[in-house]
Chains A and B, each alone.
Chain A
Amino acid sequence: MTEALLIADPLLHLAAAACYMVVFVLLVVEMLLGRRTASAAMALAWVGTSTHALGILARWTVAGHGPMLTKYENLSAYAFVTAGLALYLGVRKAGLRSLGVLLYPAAFLMIGVAVYTGPDLVNLPPAFTGVWLVMHVCFYFLAFGSAMTAVSASVLLMVRSRLRPTVAARLPDVDDLDVAAYRFAGLAFTFWGIGMLTGSIWAYNAWGRYWGWDPVETWSLVTWLILGVYLHLRRFFGWDGTRAAWLIVLSFALALMSLFGTTFITGSLHGVYFR
């Protein structure tokens, strides 16, 4: 049984990635050519997300813990949340379905890198226990998915004016994209903040300190504060449109640095989760 699940895990991930790529193609066909392919795309997105969930469950069963260690597990979970949000938008917010043209390739890319790094199993270190750790990890997954959605809306907003009018007409209005970016940036800010707080409570139990100027902690705090600057610039200074979109792109770059980049350029206590 264990052997079967170990073999099935990466295969299910690859199948999910293939589904996401086809969904992306279908959404692009609808956007560029105006063909009615959205229903097929959403049906396939369901299949892809379900397959992905099965892959994560298979690995969870074998490893005995949720997706919180190694590049493979983390990237898979980030991809799952990203694809899940794209599916939610596609089904419940049809006006924002076209955000999938950026979200699904991102999920595909993350799964690709995850599989490339290898699905080797790693056992949990003694400190990796407790409900606070689970909440910490889950809220960061949600924060990343929200930030990814916000940056997708911002990028679409920026490129919309450069597209042919017929293609642009199939995209959401600039106002809708702007509001979606604002709203998901707010969600990312909130989830990121809760993720930091639950992480500090976990760190307090695990290491006896809630804050240690660890590189990942510090970059994470800077990311959160920049998201706060974005929200306040919008609220008080009336920033919107392209100017605000660029700030979201900057915030997202910082988020990528916090979650993935820091462990490569400097030693970090958090590095264990992304080895």
Chain B
Amino acid sequence: MVSHRMRVLRRVILGRRAVVSVIIALVSTVTVGYADSLLGVDVGIVPASVADWALRVVAVLAALQLATATTLLAARDIRRAFRARGPGAREVIRVRDQASMIRALRSASYIRLRRSPDTVRYVRNVWGYAGPCTLHLGMLVVMCGVLVASLTQSSGTFVAYEGESIPAGTVPASTERGPLASPPALTRPIMLDHLDVTYWPDGAPRRIAALVTLETADGGRELEVGVNDPGGVSGFRIFQHSTFGYAFGITVTRGGVGERYRFEIPVPAERDAASYLDTTLDSGDMLRAKLVHDPSTPTGAPLLTLRLVRGGVTLGEAEYAATSSAVLGDTEVSVDVVKRWAVFSLQRTRGMGLVFTGFFLIFAGAVLTYAFTPREVTISRSSAGGVVAEWHAVRFPLMYGSEVAALRRAAEADGDDDD
């Protein structure tokens, strides 16, 4: 009864139609999710949360199938490895010289696994039996890792300015989190000490790294993070983005009244390019800013140009290589502070360990499946009294024609020389 139920369960979960249906469902949800991300959430085919949940549900179904398949494959592979004889073959090799045949088997790396009075079983690449099972186990582990990460991941981005501390408890802007995750709040104060950017000769950034200080009860702990080189702190990981720039503290004085502004301008992508920022002042004038790299410095120091425009007429324009002041028409515009800023992500993710492990399992499974196909030879006495060998390849038997031919030649060799 139990066996019957298991068979039914297996048929439902691992039936041919069930397997293909789940794969097609995965393709469909991925395609819908893609279309949704292309069109945008607001006018999407389905809301993003629905697409996320649909993918999770299908992933659970796929994981269930993979778990069942892996268990069944493991049982099958163990049975195959230790069975008394192979499943037979269409072509049976008649063995005239058993000693020559065994020598050929040994030289081809076949090892003897089972022996009884009537049969001897040799196997080449016995570890290859575990290939499909390991491959499916790897996919299962990855699927579990993806599910755990999708449910528990929380992340958000924040902008840090050189020398300014961000207090503990700050929740980064534009946060994303899974249904089981808590908001990614900073667990301790953090400060950007220094941003280190090096450039290629053509002016494109080569390396972007930051030194940040995590303030603790006993002082501070310095941590270096960079693009593609995240750092870890209190269960979170900090990622450095490629976006960075300068924050200019600007005072605009007109008629003895000063107004303070902070211009945050990203560094242009290339050295001979420029970034622009137009800001309407409280007075109604427009202050147009242009930022380029100073080509005379190897690290690309900022060169800011400010132009004051009133009613479409330019009143004045000045360049600021550092903190300085200039009069633009009837207005004094001074750059008081120049700081660098950089964008970081704060993220807590569980499940990436499973993804890593799954990667190695898939790799191992693939190698075992494709490079170590097991081949079996069962030598036994035929009913007619002679000795026969049955060769069997677990996968791709047509690929081993030359090996079978060599064994056949050895088996059918004239044994007189050995006598």
Query: Does chain A bind chain B?
Result: yes
Taking a contact as CB atoms under 8 Å apart, the answer to whether A208 and B155 are in contact is yes
Residue A37, interface by CB 8 Å: no
Cβ of B204: which chain A residues have Cβ within 8 Å of it? 123, 125
Q: Knowing A127-B242, A226-B27 touch, does A213 contact B37 (C-beta < 8 A)?
A: yes
Taking a contact as CB atoms under 8 Å apart, the answer to whether A201 and B399 are in contact is no
Residue A11, interface by CB 8 Å: no
Cβ of B345: which chain A residues have Cβ within 8 Å of it? 207-208
Taking a contact as CB atoms under 8 Å apart, the answer to whether A126 and B242 are in contact is yes
Q: Knowing A125-B205, A190-B135, A206-B228 touch, does A225 contact B30 (C-beta < 8 A)?
A: yes
Q: Which of B37, B135, B352, B365 contacts A204 (CB 8 A)?
A: B352
Nearest opposing residue in chain A for B356, CB measure: A201
Taking a contact as CB atoms under 8 Å apart, the answer to whether A129 and B228 are in contact is yes
Q: Report A79-107 residues with CB < 8 Å from chain B CB.
A: 95
Give the distance to chain B from A206, nearest Cβ to Cβ, in Å.
Answer: 4
Q: Report B343-401 residues with CB < 8 Å from chain A CB.
A: 345, 347, 349, 352, 355-356, 358-359, 362-363, 365-366, 369-370, 396, 398-399, 401
Q: Report A195-247 residues with CB < 8 Å from chain B CB.
A: 197-198, 200-202, 204-211, 213, 215, 218-219, 221-222, 225-226, 228-229, 232-233, 236-237
Taking a contact as CB atoms under 8 Å apart, the answer to whether A208 and B237 are in contact is yes
Give the distance to chain A from B236, nearest Cβ to Cβ, in Å.
Answer: 11
Cβ of B19: which chain A residues have Cβ within 8 Å of it? 232, 236
Cβ of B202: which chain A residues have Cβ within 8 Å of it? 123
Cβ of A126: which chain B residues have Cβ within 8 Å of it? 205-208, 226-228, 242
Q: Knowing A193-B362, A206-B227 touch, does A213 contact B398 (C-beta < 8 A)?
A: no
Residue B16, interface by CB 8 Å: yes
Cβ of B33: which chain A residues have Cβ within 8 Å of it? 213, 218
Cβ of B24: which chain A residues have Cβ within 8 Å of it? 229
Nearest opposing residue in chain A for B238, CB measure: A208
Taking a contact as CB atoms under 8 Å apart, the answer to whether B355 and A210 are in contact is yes
Which of A40-48, A49-57, A175-183 is the contact stretch?
A175-183
Taking a contact as CB atoms under 8 Å apart, the answer to whether A194 and B366 are in contact is yes
Q: Is the interface of A mostly helix, strand, loop or mixed?
A: helix
Chain A interface size band reads 35 or more
**CA of A161 to CA of B327, assembled, Å:** 85
Q: Is the interface of B mostly helix, strand, loop or mixed?
A: helix
Taking a contact as CB atoms under 8 Å apart, the answer to whether B362 and A209 are in contact is no
**CA of A194 to CA of B139, assembled, Å:** 10
Taking a contact as CB atoms under 8 Å apart, the answer to whether B359 and A201 are in contact is yes
Cβ of B34: which chain A residues have Cβ within 8 Å of it? 213, 215, 218-219, 222
Q: Report B7-45 residues with CB < 8 Å from chain A CB.
A: 16, 19-20, 23-24, 26-27, 30-31, 33-34, 37-38
Residue B336, interface by CB 8 Å: no
Give the distance to chain B from A137, nearest Cβ to Cβ, in Å.
Answer: 14
Nearest opposing residue in chain B for A132, CB measure: B228
**CA of A130 to CA of B207, assembled, Å:** 13
As a 0/1 sequence over residues 254 to 267 of chain A, the CB contacts with chain B under 8 angstroms (1 = contact) are 00000000000010
**CA of A198 to CA of B370, assembled, Å:** 20
Taking a contact as CB atoms under 8 Å apart, the answer to whether B398 and A175 are in contact is yes
Residue A186, interface by CB 8 Å: yes
Give the distance to chain B from A149, nearest Cβ to Cβ, in Å.
Answer: 13
Residue B200, interface by CB 8 Å: yes
Residue B230, interface by CB 8 Å: yes
Residue A187, interface by CB 8 Å: yes
Cβ of B27: which chain A residues have Cβ within 8 Å of it? 222, 225-226, 229
Nearest opposing residue in chain B for A206, CB measure: B228
**CA of A219 to CA of B363, assembled, Å:** 22
**CA of A200 to CA of B37, assembled, Å:** 18
Taking a contact as CB atoms under 8 Å apart, the answer to whether B200 and A123 are in contact is yes
Q: Report B206-260 residues with CB < 8 Å from chain A CB.
A: 206-208, 226-230, 237, 239, 241-242
Nearest opposing residue in chain B for A231, CB measure: B23
Nearest opposing residue in chain B for A219, CB measure: B34
Cβ of B399: which chain A residues have Cβ within 8 Å of it? 179-180, 183
**CA of A201 to CA of B38, assembled, Å:** 23
Q: Which of A182, A206, A225 contacts B23 (CB 8 A)?
A: A225
Give the distance to chain B from A37, nearest Cβ to Cβ, in Å.
Answer: 23
Give the distance to chain A from B366, nearest Cβ to Cβ, in Å.
Answer: 4
Cβ of B139: which chain A residues have Cβ within 8 Å of it? 193
Taking a contact as CB atoms under 8 Å apart, the answer to whether A201 and B355 are in contact is yes
Taking a contact as CB atoms under 8 Å apart, the answer to whether B31 and A222 are in contact is yes
Nearest opposing residue in chain B for A228, CB measure: B23
Residue B192, interface by CB 8 Å: no
Residue B267, interface by CB 8 Å: no
Taking a contact as CB atoms under 8 Å apart, the answer to whether A200 and B355 are in contact is yes
Taking a contact as CB atoms under 8 Å apart, the answer to whether B30 and A197 are in contact is no
Taking a contact as CB atoms under 8 Å apart, the answer to whether B230 and A197 are in contact is no
Residue B149, interface by CB 8 Å: yes
Give the distance to chain A from B301, nearest Cβ to Cβ, in Å.
Answer: 19
**CA of A222 to CA of B358, assembled, Å:** 20
**CA of A226 to CA of B30, assembled, Å:** 12
Cβ of B20: which chain A residues have Cβ within 8 Å of it? 229, 232-233, 236-237
Give the distance to chain B from A126, nearest Cβ to Cβ, in Å.
Answer: 4
Q: Which of B16, B358, B359 contacts A237 (CB 8 A)?
A: B16
Q: A179-B399, A209-B347 are in contact. List 14 more A-B contacts (CB 8 A).
A: A126-B205, A127-B228, A127-B242, A129-B228, A133-B228, A175-B398, A186-B369, A190-B362, A197-B362, A205-B239, A209-B155, A213-B34, A218-B30, A236-B19
Could you jot down 15 A-B contacts, CB within 8 Å? A123-B200, A124-B206, A126-B205, A126-B207, A126-B226, A127-B242, A175-B398, A197-B362, A201-B359, A204-B349, A208-B239, A209-B347, A222-B34, A228-B23, A233-B20
Residues of A in contact with B (beta carbons under 8 Å apart): 95, 123-130, 133, 175-176, 179-180, 182-183, 186-187, 190-191, 193-194, 197-198, 200-202, 204-211, 213, 215, 218-219, 221-222, 225-226, 228-229, 232-233, 236-237, 266
